[in-house]
Structure 1
Amino acid sequence: MEKSNVEHLFEWLDQTSELLGKHIDEPYLESLTNAMDVLFYQDVPKDMDDILTNKLEKALKDIDISSFKTEEIRKGIQLAILKGMKDSTQQQHLMTPETVALIVGYLADKLTSGKEKIRIFDPASGTGNLITTVLERLKQDVDAFASEVDPTLIQLAVLNANLQSKKIEFFHQDSLRPFLLDPVDLVVADLPVGYYPDDLRASEFELRADEGHSYAHHLFIEQGLYYTKEAGYGVYIIPEFLFESEQAGKLNQFLNKHAHIIGVIRLPESAFTSERNQKSILILQKKGEQTKGVKQPLLVQMPSFKNAKAMSDILGQMNTWFQANKNNL
């Protein structure tokens, strides 16, 4: 059987990363950034020895990335990153599941339809899988921005975007610190869950904890809204327990003051490795002089992603909801 382009790209990245890892003695994800670098520039760095250089030059002749579709490139890279993350013990080295990223892309498209040009920001971009998936769904002219503090993840994200020919301006910084960024029309983020260690910085947020460390996932929502235009949107992948924690009352007050809750989409348990990791999608609109909010928010329980008929039915219902509420969005 002939290999698909996705399989071909994954195998090329995997084998090239393993080759680099043996020669340079570095973790798989770092070797993967070097492999992606070689593929993007179609060139071998000058500081490599002759044996490795010859092997990499030979490998480059085995793949023609210019003939691959964007979606194939994204999926091939995604498989290689997922392999690297299996060996990684760091909690932040996790990727937004493919189907969840596609739902965020669907929502982004619905919320911004009718606009000719938009600005989008992902303040927790990781390897760039979520924002590149969303950009693939948007039809208009888009200025895209993303931020990531982890040096390995941002390298992967930049190369991921470059290989997909996606123009994204990246910030390598703590995403809860100030940005040199004008407000955007849409913020998307798979929220990092846990405590934020910098209490001094956290003290500048409305959603700071009264005592002890503040929740990073709360601060990210506040930071996202701060960099959103009036009447702009936030689509956040949130932990299932977001509105049940001991700081939930403060979060509810903050959202009532600054945003309209447009909808909550509960994702199927089968999409996650355990009940503890269960997520939902929260859709917000930043309040402004002209905003009204919606009378009936979009509340959805997603079926198993493997159930094509049920998925088709629920997407039909969501399309109907967006059509009925388009004057209030």
Structure 2
Amino acid sequence: MTFEVDKAFKYLDQLTMSIEKTEEETYLDSLVFALRAIQTEEALAFPDAETEESVVKLKELFYQEKPDKESIRKVIQLALIKGMKGSTQQQHVVTPDSVAMFIGYFLQKLLNDTKQFRLFDPASGAGNLLTAVINQVSAEVEGYGSEIDPTLIQLAVESANLQQLSIEFFHQDALMPLLLDPADAVVADLPVGYYPNDEQAAHFDLQAEEGHSYAHHLFIEQSLRYTKEAGYLVFVIPNFLFTSEQSEQLQVFLRKQAHILAMLQLPLSMFSSEQHAKSILVLQKQGTDTQAPKQTLMAQLPSFKDVNATHNILRKIDGWFQTEAEK
């Protein structure tokens, strides 16, 4: 029996909207309660028969049809996209699946022979990018995420529980000290903008000389702090990262701390305007035995809908990995 993602989303959406209406909560807060309702064995009181039927149907779909983790993530992702549509809060954005899949593919190539590793997302939001990457790699992954938004971190916890993934979340400002041992790899869709806490920013090499520091710069520095020597970091970055003010300071810092392995520009068609366009930046933290790549991999990624062009770029990436392995 094939698990129907759209059908499961229809019931989840129905349940979430019912909670939203009766509890007078936002859609995202209601989604937290909906995900908990699916996982609880207690008898819950619902306002009408239709809502009760949604819970019964969802439990049947999730526990009797036994969908894989990735199918469960996709159902939750559809609800997240609906809940975040039109949101004015910058952190209320879901990393597109095609980007998450590409990051997972790249990480798999980097950690090809690794059977087990620790993965950290310092800006984990509702956990969609982190869980998408964990579901894609073949190794056993111990996941960690940090998120300050109370609704998003609750969604991340419920999503990880429903997918039965081993992830520990920190509900805090990720730029404050973390009770976390360094990870083997970091992934993050970097929050873009200014960091308001100047006092905390003063603890970073990348603090601004005057005024507020860039949060996206500080997240890169913090990620490197919590990455093992020779570990890998894969970021979704704004295209202006290396051309905006304070970028010279960032470049000097990165030359001392990391090797830039790849810079892959995402298709412009994915973004509302050129100024919002993003790229994937791949770094390796410097270590005793690490060295810079013979050549940094630079590429403009095609639309992921163009199968031939995507295959061509994957061949180019495979060739780059082969050249680096020979080195």
How would you bin the TM-score normalised by the shorter chain? over 0.9
* 1:16/1:35 contact within 8 Å kept: yes
Question: Which one-letter code corresponds to 1:258 in the other structure?
Answer: Q
Matches within 5 A, 1:95-110: 95-110=94-109
2:63 matches 1:61? no
* 1:44/1:56 contact within 8 Å kept: no
2:301 matches 1:295? no
Question: Which one-letter code corresponds to 1:61 in the other structure?
Answer: V
* 2:46/2:52 contact within 8 Å kept: no
Seen in structure 2, the aligned counterparts of structure 1 residues 94 and 38 have a Cα distance that, compared at 3 Å, is same
Question: Which one-letter code corresponds to 2:39 in the other structure?
Answer: F
Seen in structure 2, the aligned counterparts of structure 1 residues 19 and 232 have a Cα distance that, compared at 3 Å, is same
What corresponds to 2:152 in structure 1?
153
Larger deviation: 203-212 or 19-28? 19-28
Matches within 5 A, 1:269-280: 269-280=268-279
- Cα deviation for residue 317 of structure 1 reads 1.3
> What is the aligned residue count?
323
What is the SS of the residue equivalent to 2:272? coil
Residues in 2 aligned to 1:112 and 1:327: alpha-carbon distance in whole angstroms:
16
- Cα deviation for residue 323 of structure 1 reads 2.0
Larger deviation: 206-215 or 63-72? 63-72
What corresponds to 2:116 in structure 1?
117
Residues in 2 aligned to 1:235 and 1:62: alpha-carbon distance in whole angstroms:
38
Question: Which one-letter code corresponds to 1:168 in the other structure?
Answer: I
2:51 matches 1:52? no
Residues in 2 aligned to 1:187 and 1:102: alpha-carbon distance in whole angstroms:
15
2:312 matches 1:313? yes
What corresponds to 2:134 in structure 1?
135
Residues in 2 aligned to 1:138 and 1:38: alpha-carbon distance in whole angstroms:
29
What corresponds to 1:200 in structure 2?
199
What is the SS of the residue equivalent to 1:264? strand
What corresponds to 2:225 in structure 1?
226
Q: Percent identity?
A: 50
2:39 matches 1:40? yes
What is the SS of the residue equivalent to 1:242? helix
Question: Which one-letter code corresponds to 2:285 in the other structure?
Answer: K
Structure 2 gap segments, 5+ residues each? none
Residues in 1 aligned to 2:238 and 2:41: alpha-carbon distance in whole angstroms:
40
Residues in 2 aligned to 1:16 and 1:190: alpha-carbon distance in whole angstroms:
29
Cα deviation code 1:172-212 (max 9, x no counterpart): 00000001111111010000000000000000100000000
TM-score (norm 2): 0.95
Seen in structure 2, the aligned counterparts of structure 1 residues 22 and 317 have a Cα distance that, compared at 3 Å, is same
2:70 matches 1:71? yes
Residues in 1 aligned to 2:71 and 2:319: alpha-carbon distance in whole angstroms:
31
Residues in 2 aligned to 1:199 and 1:10: alpha-carbon distance in whole angstroms:
42
Question: Which one-letter code corresponds to 1:165 in the other structure?
Answer: Q
What corresponds to 1:93 in structure 2?
92
Larger deviation: 248-257 or 269-278? 269-278
What corresponds to 1:126 in structure 2?
125
Residues in 2 aligned to 1:19 and 1:276: alpha-carbon distance in whole angstroms:
38
What corresponds to 1:254 in structure 2?
253
Seen in structure 2, the aligned counterparts of structure 1 residues 99 and 42 have a Cα distance that, compared at 3 Å, is farther
Residues in 1 aligned to 2:80 and 2:155: alpha-carbon distance in whole angstroms:
8
- Cα deviation for residue 74 of structure 1 reads 1.0
Seen in structure 2, the aligned counterparts of structure 1 residues 43 and 4 have a Cα distance that, compared at 3 Å, is same
Question: Which one-letter code corresponds to 1:274 in the other structure?
Answer: S
What is the SS of the residue equivalent to 1:124? coil
* 1:262/1:284 contact within 8 Å kept: yes
- Cα deviation for residue 326 of structure 1 reads 2.6
* 2:293/2:324 contact within 8 Å kept: yes
What corresponds to 1:83 in structure 2?
82
What corresponds to 2:28 in structure 1?
29
- Cα deviation for residue 150 of structure 1 reads 0.3
Question: Which one-letter code corresponds to 1:253 in the other structure?
Answer: V
Matches within 5 A, 1:172-211: 172-211=171-210
What is the SS of the residue equivalent to 1:162? helix
Question: Which one-letter code corresponds to 1:231 in the other structure?
Answer: A
- Cα deviation for residue 246 of structure 1 reads 1.0
- Cα deviation for residue 143 of structure 1 reads 1.3
Residues in 2 aligned to 1:16 and 1:42: alpha-carbon distance in whole angstroms:
17
What is the SS of the residue equivalent to 1:189? strand
Residues in 2 aligned to 1:43 and 1:97: alpha-carbon distance in whole angstroms:
35
Residues in 2 aligned to 1:277 and 1:194: alpha-carbon distance in whole angstroms:
12
Larger deviation: 108-117 or 229-238? 108-117
